[in-house]
Structure 1
Amino acid sequence: MSSEKYPRSSIEDDFNYGTNVATASVQIRMDFLRKVYSLLSVQIILTTATSALFMFSQTIKDYVHTSPAVVLISGLGSLALLVALAVYRHKHPVNLYLLLVFVSTILTAICLPTVTFYEYSTVLQALFLTSAVFVGLTAYTFQSKRDFSKMGVGLFACLWILILASFMRFFFDSDTTELALSGAGALVFCGFIIYDTHLLMKQLSPEEHILASINLYLDIVNLFLHILRLLDSLKKH
């Protein structure tokens, strides 16, 4: 009696999944997108709710402002967690636990120390603008037939230029410098939203929904922070 070398179900699964999301079946693509944007929504809701809680609590604000060591440790922890997430991105549920801790460190290291220095109205404006820009760019990328994968090299080059230019704040600390850097940063991360949205559909595999959600989450957080600084600089002008 002959037996199949490769079980039919295994062959069918490989065909359904393909090598990336774009070549997978419609059902697999839709499941992947649901996972990515569900995880992203949870991260954004958690970030927004926690930031709002911290903004309205003077005790917590004072603690964040007077505890730079906590911010530094959280920043280093977030980098370590990024490495761990890359290693364990296919290990469920470890990847979800790591994702939750990663969001917590990003909150402590970046979001909370930043938003607590701004007026409530400015933070709300930045939140609405970031949401509108993200939805618009996502819709544009999904319906566009252009290949955005070539943007990667240019975007990463611009990001490094932006990081180096940020050191100008130590020598040219002015509203004009802050305005220019914030505007440039917002444009760079608008580009990253387009690039990473294209990437998740064209290059990532259906099992990499954790990685896709992290990429978009970091894009949104950075866009929000740059828009926040931009709005604050415009008000000072």
Structure 2
Amino acid sequence: MNVFDRSINIDALFKFSQISHSTQVHLKNVYSSLAVCMFVAAAGSYVHVVTRLFQGGVLSVLGSLGLMFWLAMTPHNPETEKKRLAILAGFAFLTGVGLGPTLDFVISVNPSIIVTAFMGTSVIFICFTLSALYAKRRTYLFLGGTLMSGLSLLFLMSLMNMFFGSMILFKAHMYLGLLIMCGFVLFDTQLIIEKAENGDKDYVWHCVDLFLDFITIFRKLMVILAMNDKVLILYDCKILSLNISRNV
């Protein structure tokens, strides 16, 4: 038999037989809302970085938390759908504004890092999402306890670093946090599927979970790339100064 004569069914790559049709429709709504949130968050970041009409900081964080709490308290039904979508848009906008200080730091190091970090985050998010969608149901739900323990460890490391101010501890926090958030993409995706299969079709709130995963990965990846780029710049400057001193 000639293996090259086998036909490849591309449509089969996009069929999820283990997920019911209603849940697939629900996931389309979730990811459509997530795409809109990305555009709104980008607008919020643009407002901070370019126009300076809104400044990212404590107020934007408190505002986004308040909107998220308001969204959680608003019941999910057809009458409140438009209202909840408007709240979601406001939450995404303030979250984008909240990225402002991190973006300012990255731009001061190398503006191209933002594009690299976004592309990297998109690849990470898509790969882990597809892994969760194609995997057997409930395969990654066991990660919940481990991931929550990891968040507790990150919180403890943050408290410790407030007193020690260690760069090594800060880098460990960044890399470990990136790894944990990748795990949350797997966990949250399969948890959303399970909730939808059990009748929970609140796609707006499910979008919030994935949106926070994406934003957190993006933020951490930007900081990691900026730190590495800054180290390379300092190293190049040191080598250049040594060469100049030798020539002199």
TM-score over 0.5 for the alignment? yes
Please state if 1:79 is matched with 2:73: no
Secondary structure of 2:165's match?
A: coil
TM-score, normalised relative to structure 1: 0.78
Measure the CA separation in 1 of the matches of 2:25 and 2:48: 35
The alignment-based identity, stated in percent, is 28
**Which segment is superposed worse, 34-43 or 156-165?**
156-165
* 1:160-188, Cα deviation, whole Å (9 max, x unpaired): 21122123333333442332111011001
Following superposition, the deviation at residue 116 of structure 1 comes to 1.7
Q: Contact 1:39–1:213 (CA<8 Å) still a contact in 2? A: yes
Task: Find 2:102's aligned residue among 97, 102, 114.
Answer: 114
Tell which has more relative contact order, 1 or 2 (C-alpha 8 A, sep 6+): 1
State the 4+ residue runs in structure 1 displaced beyond 6 angstroms: none
TM-superposed CA distance for 1:92, in Å, is: 1.5
Structure 2 counterpart of 1:40, which letter?
Answer: L
Looking at structure 1, the residues matched to 46 and 93 of structure 2 have their Cα atoms a distance apart, in angstroms, of 14
Q: Determine the structure 2 residue equivalent to 1:165.
A: 157
- Give the alignment's Cα RMSD to 1 decimal: 2.4
Q: 2:90 aligns with which of 90, 93, 101?
A: 101
Number of matched residues? 206
Moved more, 200-209 or 156-165: 200-209
Distance across 1 between alignment mates of 2:19 and 2:133: 16
The DSSP-based 3-state class of the residue aligned with 2:141 is: helix
Q: In the alignment, which residue of structure 1 is the partner of 2:116?
A: 125
Of the structure 1 ranges 122-131 and 185-194, higher mean CA displacement relative to structure 2 is found in 122-131
* Cα distance change, pair 122–175 in 1 and its aligned pair in 2 (3 A): farther
In 1, distance between residues paired with 2:145 and 2:178?
A: 18
**AA at the equivalent of 1:177:** L
Whole-Å Cα distance in 1 between the matches of residues 162 and 73 of structure 2? Answer: 36
Cα offset, 1:23, TM superposition? 9.5
- What does 1:23-172 correspond to in 2, within 5 Å? 25-26=20-21, 28-52=22-46, 54-55=48-49, 57=50, 60=52, 64=55, 71-90=57-76, 91-108=80-97, 110-119=98-107, 120-145=111-136, 147-172=139-164
Deviation at 1:231, TM superposition (A): 1.2
AA paired with 2:220?
Answer: H
Structure 2: 5+ residue stretches without partners:
1-16, 232-248
Q: Aligned ranges for residues 181-192 of structure 1 at < 5 Å?
A: 181-192=173-184
1:53-104 Cα shifts (integer Å, max 9, x gaps): 543x2x629x73xxxxx62222222222222211215131221111111112
